[in-house]
Chain A
Amino acid sequence: MTIRKFTEDHEWIDVVDGVGTVGITNHAQEQLGDVVFVELPEVGATIAKGASVGVVESVKAASDIYTPVSGEVVAVNEALVEDPAQVNADPEAGAWFYRIRLSKPDELDGLLAAEAYQALLG
Chain B
Amino acid sequence: MSPTLSDLEAPDAFQARHIGPDAQDRQHMLRAVGAASMDQLITETVPAGIRLGHGLALPEGCDEAAMLDRMRAIADRNRVVTSMIGMGYYGTHTPPVILRNVLENPGWYTAYTPYQPEISQGRLEALLTFQTMVADLTGLEIANASLLDEATAAAEAMTLARRVGRSKAEAFFVDANCHPQTIAVLRTRAEPLGIPVIVGDPVRDLDPAAVFAALFQYPGTDGAIPDLAAPIDRLHGDRALAIVATDLLALTVLKAPGEFGADIAVGSAQRFGVPMGYGGPHAAFIATRDAFRRSLPGRLVGLSVDRDGRPALRLALQTREQHIRRDKATSNICTAQVLLAVIAGLYACWHGPDGLTRIARRSHRLASLFADGLRHGGATPRHGTFFDTVTIPCPGTADHRVARALAEGINIRRVDADAVAVSFDETSTRGTVEALWRAFEVDRPTLSVDRLDAEAAGDRLPDGLVRRSPFLTHPTFSNYRSETEMLRYLRRLADKDIALDRAMIPLGSCTMKLNAAAEMLPISWPAFARIHPFAPAEQAQGYKDLVDRLSRALEEITGYDAVSLQPNAGSQGEYAGLLAIRAYHRSRGDLDRTVCLIPESAHGTNPASAVMAGFRVVVVACDADGNVDVDDLKAKAAEHGAHLGALMVTYPSTHGVFEAAIGEICGIVHDHGGQVYVDGANLNALVGLAKPGKFGADVSHLNLHKTFCIPHGGGGPGVGPIGVRAHLAPFLPNHPLRSDAGPASGIGPVSAAPYGSAGILPISWAYIEMMGAEGLRRASEQAILSANYIAARLRPHYPVLYAGQNDRVAHEVILDTRPLKAEAGISVDDIAKRLIDYGFHAPTMSFPVPGTLMIEPTESEGLAEIDRFCEAMIAIRQEIARVAQGHWPADDNPLVNAPHTADDLLVDRWAHAYERSVAAYPVPGLKDRKYWPPVARVDQAYGDRHLVCSCPSIDGYREAAE
Q: Verify B940–A59 contact, CB threshold 8 A.
A: yes
Q: Verify B944–A37 contact, CB threshold 8 A.
A: yes
Q: Verify B944–A59 contact, CB threshold 8 A.
A: yes
Alpha-carbon distance A27/B182, docked complex (angstroms): 48
Category for how many chain A residues contact B = 10 to 19
User: Is B945 an interface residue when CB atoms closer than 8 A count as contact?
Assistant: yes
Q: Verify A36–B324 contact, CB threshold 8 A.
A: no
Contact of A59 among B325, B328, B941 (CB under 8 A): B941
Given contacts A60-B324, A61-B324, contact A36 B318 (CB under 8 A): no
Most central of B294, B319, B846, B940 by chain A CB within 10 Å = B319
Contact with A along B483-494 (1 / 0, CB 8 A): 000000000000
CB neighbours of A34 from chain B (8 A): 940-941
Alpha-carbon distance A35/B941, docked complex (angstroms): 7
User: Is A85 an interface residue when CB atoms closer than 8 A count as contact?
Assistant: yes
Contacts of B698-741 to chain A: CB distance below 8 A: none
User: Is A62 an interface residue when CB atoms closer than 8 A count as contact?
Assistant: yes
Alpha-carbon distance A85/B325, docked complex (angstroms): 21
CB neighbours of A85 from chain B (8 A): 941, 945
Alpha-carbon distance A60/B945, docked complex (angstroms): 13
CB neighbours of B944 from chain A (8 A): 36-37, 59
CB neighbours of A84 from chain B (8 A): 945
Contact with A along B371-415 (1 / 0, CB 8 A): 000000000000000000000000000000000000000000000
Q: Name which residue of chain B comes closest to A33, CB basis.
A: B941
Contact with B along A52-72 (1 / 0, CB 8 A): 000001111110000000000
Given contacts A36-B945, A37-B294, contact A57 B940 (CB under 8 A): no
Contact of A58 among B294, B325, B846, B941 (CB under 8 A): B941
CB neighbours of A61 from chain B (8 A): 319, 324
CB neighbours of B324 from chain A (8 A): 60-62
Would you give the shortest CB distance from B194 to chain A, in whole angstroms? 22
Most central of A33, A37, A60 by chain B CB within 10 Å = A60
Given contacts A59-B318, A60-B318, A62-B319, contact A36 B294 (CB under 8 A): no
Contact with A along B300-325 (1 / 0, CB 8 A): 00000000000000000011000011
Would you give the shortest CB distance from B690 to chain A, in whole angstroms? 35
Alpha-carbon distance A82/B324, docked complex (angstroms): 23
Alpha-carbon distance A34/B318, docked complex (angstroms): 13
Alpha-carbon distance A62/B320, docked complex (angstroms): 9
Q: Name which residue of chain A comes closest to B940, CB basis.
A: A59
Alpha-carbon distance A85/B846, docked complex (angstroms): 24
Alpha-carbon distance A14/B328, docked complex (angstroms): 30
Contact with A along B822-854 (1 / 0, CB 8 A): 000000000000000000000000100000000
Q: Verify A37–B319 contact, CB threshold 8 A.
A: yes
Alpha-carbon distance A59/B302, docked complex (angstroms): 13
Alpha-carbon distance A60/B323, docked complex (angstroms): 10
CB neighbours of A57 from chain B (8 A): 319
Alpha-carbon distance A37/B944, docked complex (angstroms): 8
* Cβ contacts A to B, 27 pairs, < 8 Å: A33-B941, A34-B941, A35-B941, A36-B944, A36-B945, A37-B294, A37-B944, A57-B319, A58-B319, A58-B941, A59-B318, A59-B319, A59-B940, A59-B941, A59-B944, A60-B319, A60-B846, A60-B940, A61-B319, A61-B324, A62-B319, A62-B324, A62-B325, A62-B328, A84-B945, A85-B941, A85-B945
Q: What is the interface of chain A, defined by CB distance below 8 A to chain B? A: 33-37, 57-62, 84-85
Q: What is the interface of chain B, defined by CB distance below 8 A to chain A? A: 294, 318-319, 324-325, 328, 846, 940-941, 944-945
5 closest Cβ pairs, A-B complex: A34-B941, A36-B944, A59-B940, A62-B319, A57-B319
